[in-house]
Structure 1
């Protein structure tokens, strides 16, 4: 019986190349080295594993950080801490 080769999309290839748990070190390095040091694959896929999304226009180097808030409830201290990020 012949097997059909499954075509791998870009995101699947990127996940296979580097485990999400192993990419935190790169994220910390990019924070020091600046926006220009971030490869396209990391910018478009890997940073999203940590809730970081580029804002438009992407070239300006601004990010949005997605944060989970259980039950939609924060204390004033927690909200203040988020504001410092």
Structure 2
């Protein structure tokens, strides 16, 4: 899963696997949490939100059950330089 780096409240990265309807968040303490059963609309709203931390707290953390995962569980981090060199 590719993770999108963000800086919003305690969120540091977010990622989504549409086939599995799985959302992964990385918190500022390095903890990774997976949420299953998350629809693409929720992902779209989170990833495009100007207030991602508030959206996460109100619509994901309170609505879905999270499971802590280890860093080796399919995380593919986006290279921050990719944004600079896109054509």
State if a TM-score over 0.5 links the two structures: no
Q: Could you state the TM-score of these two structures normalised by the residue count of structure 2?
A: 0.25
The structure with more strand, counted as a fraction of residues: 2
Q: Could you state the TM-score of these two structures normalised by the residue count of structure 1?
A: 0.26
The structure with more helix, counted as a fraction of residues: 1
